[in-house]
Each structure stands twice: as C-alpha cells, then as structure tokens.
Structure 1
C-alpha cells in the first residue's frame, strides 16, 4: 500500500501462460484522485471497475503505443484486471482489436458472466476468469504464431523482424499483415514497446543505461523519452509515484 494505493499481481497457471500475462488488482482507498502517467506495455487489458462516482463497468483496452499523462485513478475506486498477451486476441477474444489502439471500449456489464459481486474477492475473480478463458481457447493454435511470440518475449523485443521471419518460417510481409490486422500496429512497433517495458525493470533498479540492443546511450534516452515523455533519470525519480507501471516493478 502506497499513499492509499494497493496493488497486487498474480501470474496465471501454465495452461494459460501463452495467452495471459497476469491478473492484478488496483485499489485507491484514499479520498483523493491519483494522477498517473500511462505507459505502453504490450498488453491488452480487461478491466472490471467500480468507483463511487461511476457505475460498475467492464472495459477492454487495446495496445498502447504512447504515453498519456491524463490518467486518473479515482478516489475510492477498485479495479480487477486481466492482462492478455497478443495471442489471446485471436484465440480467446476471437476478434481483432485493431480499432482500439491507444484507447478502449466499454463491454456489456455481463461480459463473460462477470458482475459487480466479482469485485468482492480477487482470488475468486482470478479463478473465474481462468476457467472462462480456458473454455474459449481452441484445441489447436498456429504453432508459427506461438513460436513467434515466444521469441519476441524471450528476447524482450530485442530481435529484428528479419531474424524472426527466418526463425519462424513466415515472411516479414505476412507477419506485419497479421500484426496490423489483429492489433493495429506493426511487428517492429510491438517489439520496441516490449524493449521499452523491459528497460523499465532496469530503470526501477537505478540502471540508467542501455542493457538491451539500443545503438548507444543517446538512442536509449531517445526511446525512453518517446514512450514515457521523460528521460531515464526523471523516470527513475518517479515523483509522486506518477508512473504506476514503473512503481509496480519496484514492488515485485
């Protein structure tokens, strides 16, 4: 708990690891709104949200490609979330999210049979969500796509489109078409976002220099500022814990 903000994350079991990155809860128990800066993280988030000033709602957020400094965690608000990996778009949601890049959409209040009571217990929510997701995953998935994302995640995005194409046996043109149609961004953009996110783990520990395949320190600083709006030194300071994503790495 920091300044009335409670955060907890749970990893999915192995059967869901290709599709779900984590389940998490964010609770602002204070009387004050919390100003935050949203950072791109390569995840697709499903939120169950409840607050004093708005009714219960379920929201799906697409991939983010840029920071946004108008984020707000309302006072007395609670949100449970499932953070999905891109494979879930095709094999869990069974529809494209290319139309909600850098934004979200409100889903029906009974989406996946969720309701307000599911916000009473985080562990129960995780189990209910896990069971639902398992029921939606088909028996067979394209092994090229699984291998593609395994390579991207294992290298934290620090791999070229050419190398991915050669290792997976899928042309760069086809991969980019798949990314643009399914997610609304290019493969290279997604890799850059994952590399940025991996750098946040280093910055959270005070390592203000490139540890991944950035060209040099100047390139590193430029990329960090592009995705966060500030240079690594300012990001590390994280004044007033405005960068929630960075703060989460410090609590893990």
Structure 2
C-alpha cells in the first residue's frame, strides 16, 4: 500500500519541504487543528537523527502505509517526546492533529489512559479501526482519505459532546494565551473548583495551571525568531526572565537559549495554537 503527496488536489493551509497541511471540514474545526501529510524530499538526514516534539496537550492519529495499514494514537503530551527523524526514509504518512479536548470527542474515553503514551487505535476502538482500515484499502489518493476521515470523525464527535462551558474556557486559554487558574474559571461558571478540575482531567487530563503553561510556551515558541527572550517574557506576562526560563525548561526540558541554538532538532506543531 502506497500513497503519494501529489495525489492530494484540495485546498491546503501550507506546504514545507516535508509537510502538507490541510484544513478539516467545517464540522470538525473545533476538534481537529489540521490534517498533515508528510513526504520525502532530496535532503539527506544524518543516520540516527531524532526530533524532539514539543508538548502540545492535544494528541493525534498517525496513519502509516506500510505493508499493512497501521493507525497509531498519540495521546496529549505534557513533556518532550523524542522520535526517530524518518521524514526522508519512509513514505508518506497521514496525521490527524487534534485540538486540545479533540481526542476525547472522537474516542469518548478517559484521556488519562493516553497522556504521554502511544497506542494502536485497535486497542481502544477495534470497530473504528476496522472501519477505517476497510476504506483505506479501497483508496488510492489522499483526497479520498481526507473526505472519508472527515465523514467518520464527524459521526464520532456527535456521540461524545464536550461541555460547552469548559470548551469555551479551553479555547479562551488557547486564543488569549491567558495564565488562568481553577478558581477563576469556577467563579466565572458558577461551578466548584472540584468540578472544573474533574472536567479538565476528563478532556485533557491535566490541571488548568499545567494546561495554561504548555499552551503559553507553544505561543512563545512561535515567536522565537525574534530572539529577544526578555521581550518575549514581558509580552507573555511572565514575572521576569528567570521565571520565563524556569517555565520553559520545565515544559521543554531545555533552556530557551539551547532550544534556539538547536531548533532543527525540535518540532513544534504549527496551526494548533
């Protein structure tokens, strides 16, 4: 089974040397950040090269078209994940990059089972895996895959509605880069702090504080080309440079200066925040 990036003819968000980014259908815009097709180019990647994936608190599906079709589930990540850099050594792969809370809406399971872990979809939902596998085996283009995945995920999301009050706050934290706490959300919604904690654990399996930290660091990384840490720290409402450095190292495992010097060794998922 083999798919080629050139088989996709629909509208794209962006294209890099190894990635094609595609918008989901309108019904999934609150669940899926984008679809990604990875493909090979002529660049040589040193043997043993790895990529350090920035925590994204979201999760994804990974379709691998090998001798047999494989669909892996990556749970929301709260720490750096290191993977082999195989972009130019394997054929195309197809990713469903979820927004925070999106994986819950598709699988309808306790997300704590998936955080910082990788599983195969058939371990969680054999029926869903077999349905997707059956359709993929009859397809020859990425256009067909995008259309079918849109249809299947839309159906699954209708089964697992997320509480809209909490969804509003998840989206607010993402868009406004807010440093909020459980008490603030509880007072706004008229819920107890215990209820808010329970909702966040169910949908993203982490505290409001942790979620806010990781989202804000992702926003900072998007602006790293400015190369002015003090300005970035101030702009994103960190107490001072030392506080910014501490939080960055807590989330990414390295200092901001180390990250900047070795950016090619890291991968930050764009269009997710």
- Deviations for 1:85-121, whole angstroms, at most 9, x for unmatched residues? 2333443221122122111111238716333558853
Residue 150 of structure 2 is aligned to residue 130 of structure 1:
yes
> Contact 2:37–2:95 at 8 Å: present in 1 too?
yes
Instruction: Show the 5 A alignment for 1:39-118.
Output: 39-50=54-65, 55-68=68-81, 70-74=82-86, 75-108=89-122, 111=129, 113-115=131-133, 117=137
- 1:71 is paired with a residue whose SS is strand
Q: Distance in 2 between matches of 1:205 and 1:121?
A: 39
Among 242, 260, 269, the residue aligned to 1:236: 260
- 2:19 is paired with a residue whose SS is strand
Q: Distance in 1 between matches of 2:252 and 2:63?
A: 26
Structure 1 equivalent of residue 193 of structure 2: 172
| TM-score normalised by structure 2 residue count | 0.76
The Cα shift of 1:232 comes to 1.7
**Structure 2 unmatched ranges of 5 or more:** 1-15
Instruction: Show the 5 A alignment for 1:2-41.
Output: 6-29=18-41, 32=45, 34-41=49-56
Q: Distance in 2 between matches of 1:190 and 1:119?
A: 38
Q: 1:62 to 1:204 in 2, by over 3 A?
A: farther
Greater Cα radius of gyration, structure 1 or 2: 2
| TM-score normalised by structure 1 residue count | 0.82
- 2:210 is paired with a residue whose SS is helix
**More strand per residue: 1 or 2?**
1
Q: Distance in 2 between matches of 1:119 and 1:232?
A: 44
Q: Distance in 2 between matches of 1:143 and 1:128?
A: 27
Structure 2 equivalent of residue 220 of structure 1: 244
**Structure 1 unmatched ranges of 5 or more:** none
CA RMSD of aligned residues (A): 2.9
> Contact 1:5–1:26 at 8 Å: present in 2 too?
no
Q: 1:172 to 1:56 in 2, by over 3 A?
A: same
Range moving further from structure 2, 54-63 or 214-223: 54-63
> Contact 2:185–2:196 at 8 Å: present in 1 too?
no
Range moving further from structure 2, 146-155 or 109-118: 109-118
Provide runs of 4+ in structure 1 moved above 6 Å: none
> Contact 2:165–2:189 at 8 Å: present in 1 too?
yes
Range moving further from structure 2, 82-91 or 125-134: 82-91
Structure 2 equivalent of residue 188 of structure 1: 209
Range moving further from structure 2, 115-124 or 23-32: 115-124
**Number of aligned residues:** 241
The Cα shift of 1:28 comes to 4.1
> Contact 1:176–1:187 at 8 Å: present in 2 too?
yes
Q: Distance in 1 between matches of 2:248 and 2:129?
A: 36
- 2:195 is paired with a residue whose SS is helix
Q: Distance in 2 between matches of 1:71 and 1:130?
A: 27
> Contact 2:58–2:204 at 8 Å: present in 1 too?
no
